[in-house]
Amino acid sequence: MDKKVLIEKVNQVLAEEFETDIEKITPDANIKKTLELDSLSLVDMIALIDNEFGVKIDNTELPKIQTFQALYDYLEEKTK
């Protein structure tokens, strides 16, 4: 998937699922703060990413994915 398309899709599904203004999703923004995720809704994000992109975020990788940019890069790598 083209990275621009991937970014647009990530932003769109996250904004919709977590009912967040898509304008607030910027590459450097913190995912948890922007989407107001707690430990439970973080699980929903993992399930959502798996459903939409066929990528299961590994538990050991999760702490490294703090920003949306990190998420885009992770997905780009996994969907190559």
CB of residue 56 vs other proteins: minimum separation in angstroms?
6
Q: Between residues 13 and 69, which has the closer beta carbon with respect to other proteins?
A: 13
Phi, psi at residue 67, to the nearest 5°?
-110, 165
Phi, psi at residue 57, to the nearest 5°?
-70, 120
CB of residue 13 vs other proteins: minimum separation in angstroms?
14
Q: Between residues 19 and 77, which has the closer beta carbon with respect to other proteins?
A: 19
Q: Between residues 7 and 49, which has the closer beta carbon with respect to other proteins?
A: 49
Residues 6+ apart with CB under 8 A from 25: 11, 14, 15, 34, 68
